Structures are given as C-alpha cells and as structure tokens.
Amino acid sequence: MKICRTRAELRQAVRGWKLAGETVGLVPTMGYLHEGHLGLVRLAREKADRAVTTIFVNPTQFGPNEDLDTYPRDEARDLALLEAENVDAVFMPDVTEMYGAGGDTFVEVPGLSSILQGALRPGHFRGVATVVTKLFNIATPDFAVFGEKDYQQLTLIRQMVRDLDMPLEIVAHPTVREADGLAMSSRNVRLSPEHRQQAVALSRSLSAAEALATSGPEIDALEKAVRAELAEARDGDVQSVDIRDAETLAALSGPLKRPAVVLLAVRFGAVLLIDQRVITPRSVPGA
C-alpha cells in the first residue's frame, strides 16, 4: 500500500496504473475510519482495479464554532485498517500541501449549498465542493464512492460532477449502521454513554416515517411522527427535520406521492449527528 503525502506522489502512482489500462476508484474520507468507511472502500475495490482512499480533515468545511480541533484522528489505526482491505494507495496531505499558500479559488453549487445543512452551516458545502474537486483533479478516478448518510453532500457532488462535465461516476453506498440502528459516524465516539443511548432515536424516527409512508400520508403528518420519536431523546437538540424530494431535494407539501428523503440533524452537546432515509409511498411502482 502506497502512502502518498504529496499530490505528485499520488499522481505518479495513478499515472502508472492508467498506463497499464487499470481503472481507479476513490474514497474520500476525513479519517478515524469505521465500518461505514470500509464499506465504501470495499465497493471501490469491487468496481475498480485500484482503490485509493484519501484522509484529510478539511478545514474549509468547518465553521468557526465547529469541531475542527477536536475532530477524532488516529493515523496509525486508519492505515492498518486500509492495509487490511488491500487499498492500493492512501493520500494523506497536510493543509499546506492541499491548499498551498494564497489559494483563493472555490467551487460552489449555490442552490444545494444554501439549503438544509447548508443553512445551518454556512460555507460548509463550499468547502466540501472545493476539496472534492481538488481530490478529483489530483487522483483522476474513474469512480468515487460516497455514503448515503451524507445525502445532501451526495446530491450536491452528483450535480457538481454533472454540471462541470467531470469524467467520473459517482457511486452511492447505503448508510452503514450499528446493531441498534445508529448510523456509523466518526463523531459517535464523542457521545457520552447516555447520549449514545438516546441517539438511537434518530434511526427509530426514520423507521416510523418509513412505516407511515406506505399509506401516502401528508408531509406534515410524516414530520410530526418523526419529531415525536426524536422527542424521546430528552437531551437531543433537534436542529432540523426536513422531508424533501429524493432526487432534487426540492421542498414537498401535501400528500406523499413520490420518493422522498427524510433528513435529520440533532445535536447532543457539542456533537452534531445527521441521518437520512429514502421513503416511498406504496402507490409508486416497485414500492
């Protein structure tokens, strides 16, 4: 497994593989890997001849009062996990290598950047779009794999790739969950034992929405059911509950008539958790 600290090192490795006719799959991460990340890595290995994982805690997607300084990191553990998955290369730049000095160019998808999580975290998705574009330019992958848990991020990256004619395929991986249903996240380790127990309310609320969805209920009734389950987490500060069109993230109202995604953001102390689930009324073909 090649450990690349510079852009030049990764580009040299990828160039050799591509000259040999091999395809490259990319998995961007911020490290502190868990089984959810490893699911993305395995999918990249399935789809491509060579798998590249990036580990970079990107400062431009953190706001001034967010958890950049306390975001969990464990480089040795991450490398051991990736080597066990037969990853071909890991790109681990520092901030100077990634952004240089005096960089002043950003990538933004205005519509999707300003709603939902973007409204709660101004500038977050500009940072995501910019760093992902840079990673695509450096690694030149044929595929890039992202998790559905960050559903707005996934939707935004798909639109960015489409709008800018980037020559790669975006592949989605279903949300990976703990045995009790909590979506896996690097931030989960920062939950207190009590908050960890309460956090299961997120997945329970999504299951309630999924069960109710089959009857084609009113969107307001769905949101009410979700909020009722979330209320069981007495220390959870519900930041947002949104039910949006599953493809475009457009706002919905009235009865549920097509696939929608339920998007949650709940804060436990200093830890912000997000989760999502696509729900479909029974009237939709194939539902």
The answer to whether 187 is a known ligand-binding residue is yes
The answer to whether 31 is a known ligand-binding residue is yes
The answer to whether 40 is a known ligand-binding residue is no
d(CA 76, CA 103): 30
The answer to whether 148 is a known ligand-binding residue is yes
Give the residue numbers annotated as catalytic, written as ranges.
Answer: 37
The answer to whether 1 is a known ligand-binding residue is no
The answer to whether 34 is a known ligand-binding residue is yes
Q: Are 219 and 258 contacting, i.e. CB atoms less than 8 angstroms apart?
A: no
Closest of 196, 207, 198, 183 to residue 278, by C-alpha: 207
Strands lying side by side in the sheet with 143-147: 2-4, 89-91, 50-55, 24-29, 143-147, 169-173
The answer to whether 257 is a known ligand-binding residue is no
The answer to whether 178 is a known ligand-binding residue is no
In 3-state terms, what secondary structure has residue 145? strand
User: Which residue stretches of the chain are H helix?
Assistant: 7-19, 35-47, 75-84, 95-99, 110-113, 117-120, 124-139, 151-163, 193-198, 201-213, 219-230
The answer to whether 30 is a known ligand-binding residue is yes
The answer to whether 198 is a known ligand-binding residue is no
Give me the numbers of helices (H) and strands (E) for the chain, helices first please.
Answer: 11, 9
The answer to whether 224 is a known ligand-binding residue is no
The answer to whether 12 is a known ligand-binding residue is no
The answer to whether 35 is a known ligand-binding residue is yes
d(CA 246, CA 16): 39
d(CA 208, CA 232): 13
- Written as six digits, the tokens of 87 are 């990853």
Q: Are 186 and 71 contacting, i.e. CB atoms less than 8 angstroms apart?
A: yes
Please report, in range form, the residues annotated as the binding site for beta-alanine. Answer: 61
Please report, in range form, the residues annotated as the binding site for ATP. Answer: 30-37, 147-150, 176, 184-187
Please report, in range form, the residues annotated as the binding site. Answer: 30-37, 61, 147-150, 153, 176, 184-187
Please report, in range form, the residues annotated as the binding site for (R)-pantoate. Answer: 61, 153
